Structure 1
Amino acid sequence: MDSAKQCLINDTVDVRETIRAIEAGRKGIAVIVDSNGYLQGVATDGDIRRGLLAGVKLKDPVTAIMNRKPTKAESRMSQSTIIELLQQSGLEALPLVDADNYVVEVVLLTDLTQEASPGQASGFSSALIMAGGEGRRLLPLTENMPKPLVEVGGMPLIERQVRKVADAGVSRIYIAVNYLAEMIESHLGNGSQYGVEIQYLREEQKLGTAGAVSLITEPLDGPLLLMNGDVFTSINFQYLLDFHLMHEPLMTVAAIDYHVEIPYGVIKTNGAFATRLEEKPSQQFLCNAGIYAISPDAVSRVPQNQPYNMTDLIEQSMAEDAGVAVFPVHEYWSDIGTHTELDKARTELKIVKETLRDLDQHDENAVNIELNHRRAA
């Protein structure tokens, strides 16, 4: 199906289907039309994440988050005028409409200018993968193998991470190693086979979840992408970078939506008397996903070669005016820290690949879309 058509969705769909349209269309935008094809609004990844932070649910209608007065171009405009409109508006894509506001096309700036394709998070100066943990919760699997080399879908988890970072356009990757470091170094080498440069940060002592940041000696000319070595995710790093650059915090923390179901009726009281009964309520929390965009300023605050945790950096940054931004993750995410989570991730990836094989689809973008759809379902 033409990618422009995949961007078009009806104004009756929910946020979940809007995400799917943005991913499948590969233009960074969903264009919302009525039943006759007339423009009603647009939605971007940023609109969705702002909505999630404001309490919007994935099952809510797209009208809850869409921009009802979007920038648009008229089909009679010249290509140079459309390019100028996109550049002046700071947009990557917009709908092209006729005189009656009927959507004719979805125009992407990079298609018109032949610049680098979207999804390239080249604004990150480099990436750091924290791969020094022992993985005790995965024993006996990790008795003679570091946790990052545990396979998911026939590929070591850390190799998946390196490939994903490389695909996002980040050319330099640091990997913090400690436990059985030589096995990770032997598997990944210098990174040339993945089209990147890999440098290893060898912890002589355990430096906690953030201390290895201080081992980066080269100056950073942009944000650092940092992720834990046990995270399996289909997150779009470009969207994380865009969010970070828009809000300009000291650091941005990716956060997953976590639900806790209480299997009992909860009684609210005032003194000795009951005031309300909530039958089996659920609570919702934003939890740290172990993925961060960190400004050079925040990186410089990590003490040199000392044990230091990411929670310390987060708390220190929150005390500043720039503070900490929270990037809600609606993509697939799993912490491969227990046998239960590992088995679940392996099963889900197997199902997705079998489904796509039946549909004769094999590209990584299709895998990510299907993983995201399973998480949102």
Structure 2
Amino acid sequence: MDSINECLINETADIRDTIRAIESGKKGIAVVVDHCGTLQGVVTDGDVRRGLLAGQKLKDSVTAIMNRRPTKADVCSSQASIIELLEQSGLEALPLVNEQNCVVDIALLSAIRRHSDPGQATGFSSALIMAGGEGRRLLPLTENLPKPLVEVGGMPLIERQVRRIAHAGVNRIYVAVNYLAEMIESHLGDGSRFGVEIHYLREPKKLGTAGSLSLITEKLDGPLLLMNGDVFTSINFQYLLDFHSKHQPLITVAAIDYHVEIPYGVIKTEGPFAICLEEKPSQQFLCNAGIYALSPEAVSRVPPNQIFNMTDLIESGLSQKDGVAVFPVHEYWSDIGTHAELDKARSELKIVRETLGDLEESDEIAVHIELNHRRAA
């Protein structure tokens, strides 16, 4: 039985602490208990993101978003009954309690299934990294180097993306290339050293930010993960997939929380008269993070051999009810599009590695959890 201490929090915790528990516990759930260990409620990653969409802040109490009547099971229950309860409830995890309602363990559906059927796997059908841009804002660095090969923490950005996608269980990765394509192909190869298949989509002409989707000839048997080649993020792709699968939209758009601080007093008027003065207010927006989950139908809507952008595809989804879902990103995210953003990402990654000490080259999960902690702090 794995230790569940990292998943447990009390009612004095805030949403920031809850995110840490969900990530550190690696079970997709935080369990709220009192000082005796008695179950008070649970919080999933979906609860967190719904709370953020509703306007909750990271400093707000966990009680604002927790489920006070969670699905639970007796610790003595059989695996078959626990699986049935999880499947009927549409849950990935639930707390196991004793006769005193104290939390003893957490049942994880994927872990139970792996134990009973090691070959079973779920996830995105494939992924696509858009790596054809010229990276003009990073000149002169990108004069003879494609932007996806710019190093962050001693590793090319696109290699970080491939490794994270592979770690998420996606076996087939498409890479759309154009500018200095041969350098990207030479570095990544066929993907075998990352444990995946990499297939290159070579545009005969510039097709826009979504046009290369039409170059995928294989039939997709599930959602496609798409991300821009200049994104450095520790987003949990499984949570994105779970969110997309639950809501069943045409497109799920990952969105970052962006604040704009206005350095002046803002005057609100009614006719010629002032009715309110708000001193140095801030505005909050959800902005496109350049990461998407696309249904096979969405991919089929991209016309062949013509310029087509993601904004066109999103507009197509907006034209139908529930066509576009928004997945708020509370994890670390950076758009490596400018020298300032590149320097910032390199600096933050350096601090994280110094904090964690010596790590194996492949042990990136600890790095991404620490990046998330810094993002939430």
Distance 2:173 2:96 in 1: 39
Judging changes above 3 Å, is the alpha-carbon distance between structure 1 residues 360 and 134 closer, same or farther for their aligned structure 2 residues? closer
Judging changes above 3 Å, is the alpha-carbon distance between structure 1 residues 197 and 360 closer, same or farther for their aligned structure 2 residues? closer
Match of 1:170 in 2: 170
1:218 aligns with 2:234: no
Judging changes above 3 Å, is the alpha-carbon distance between structure 1 residues 189 and 117 closer, same or farther for their aligned structure 2 residues? farther
Distance 1:195 1:79 in 2: 32
Match of 1:45 in 2: 45
Match of 2:195 in 1: 195
Deviations 1:92-117 (A, max 9, x none): 22111122212122222344443499
Distance 2:115 2:310 in 1: 36
Match of 1:154 in 2: 154
Q: How much has 1:3 moved relative to structure 2?
A: 4.1
Distance 1:207 1:269 in 2: 46
Distance 1:292 1:23 in 2: 21
Match of 2:33 in 1: 33
Match of 2:298 in 1: 298
Q: How much has 1:317 moved relative to structure 2?
A: 1.1
Query: Secondary structure of the residue that 1:114 maps to in structure 2?
Result: helix
Judging changes above 3 Å, is the alpha-carbon distance between structure 1 residues 293 and 359 closer, same or farther for their aligned structure 2 residues? closer
CA contact (8 A) 1:3 1:24 kept: no
Query: Secondary structure of the residue that 1:306 maps to in structure 2?
Result: coil
Judging changes above 3 Å, is the alpha-carbon distance between structure 1 residues 320 and 306 closer, same or farther for their aligned structure 2 residues? same
Match of 1:367 in 2: 367
Distance 1:363 1:342 in 2: 22
Deviations 1:155-180 (A, max 9, x none): 00000001111111111111000000
Distance 1:113 1:328 in 2: 29
- 1:70-219 mapped onto 2 (5 Å cutoff): 70-115=70-115, 122-219=122-219
Per the normalisation by structure 1, the TM-score is 0.95
Q: How much has 1:121 moved relative to structure 2?
A: 8.1
CA contact (8 A) 1:3 1:26 kept: no
Query: Secondary structure of the residue that 1:68 maps to in structure 2?
Result: coil
Per the normalisation by structure 2, the TM-score is 0.95
Distance 2:67 2:89 in 1: 14
Query: Secondary structure of the residue that 2:94 maps to in structure 1?
Result: strand
Q: How much has 1:362 moved relative to structure 2?
A: 8.2
Distance 1:257 1:117 in 2: 39
- 1:271-310 mapped onto 2 (5 Å cutoff): 271-310=271-310
Distance 1:191 1:23 in 2: 28
Judging changes above 3 Å, is the alpha-carbon distance between structure 1 residues 3 and 236 closer, same or farther for their aligned structure 2 residues? farther
Q: How much has 1:88 moved relative to structure 2?
A: 2.9
Give the counterpart letter for 1:149 in structure 2.
L
Q: How much has 1:273 moved relative to structure 2?
A: 1.1
Judging changes above 3 Å, is the alpha-carbon distance between structure 1 residues 323 and 110 closer, same or farther for their aligned structure 2 residues? closer
Match of 1:338 in 2: 338
Distance 1:320 1:146 in 2: 37
Structure 1 spans left out of the alignment, 5+ residues: none
Judging changes above 3 Å, is the alpha-carbon distance between structure 1 residues 37 and 82 closer, same or farther for their aligned structure 2 residues? same
Aligned residues: 376
Distance 2:145 2:110 in 1: 44
Over the residues paired in the alignment, what is the CA RMSD in angstroms? 2.1
Distance 2:240 2:158 in 1: 20
Deviations 1:340-376 (A, max 9, x none): 0000000111111110117999832221111011111
1:11 aligns with 2:4: no
Comparing 54-63 with 84-93, greater Cα deviation is found at: 84-93
Match of 1:321 in 2: 321
Distance 1:19 1:344 in 2: 23
Distance 1:66 1:201 in 2: 44
Distance 2:255 2:375 in 1: 15
Distance 2:55 2:188 in 1: 41
Give the counterpart letter for 1:47 in structure 2.
D
Deviations 1:43-65 (A, max 9, x none): 00011111111111111100111
1:268 aligns with 2:230: no
Query: Secondary structure of the residue that 2:249 maps to in structure 1?
Result: coil
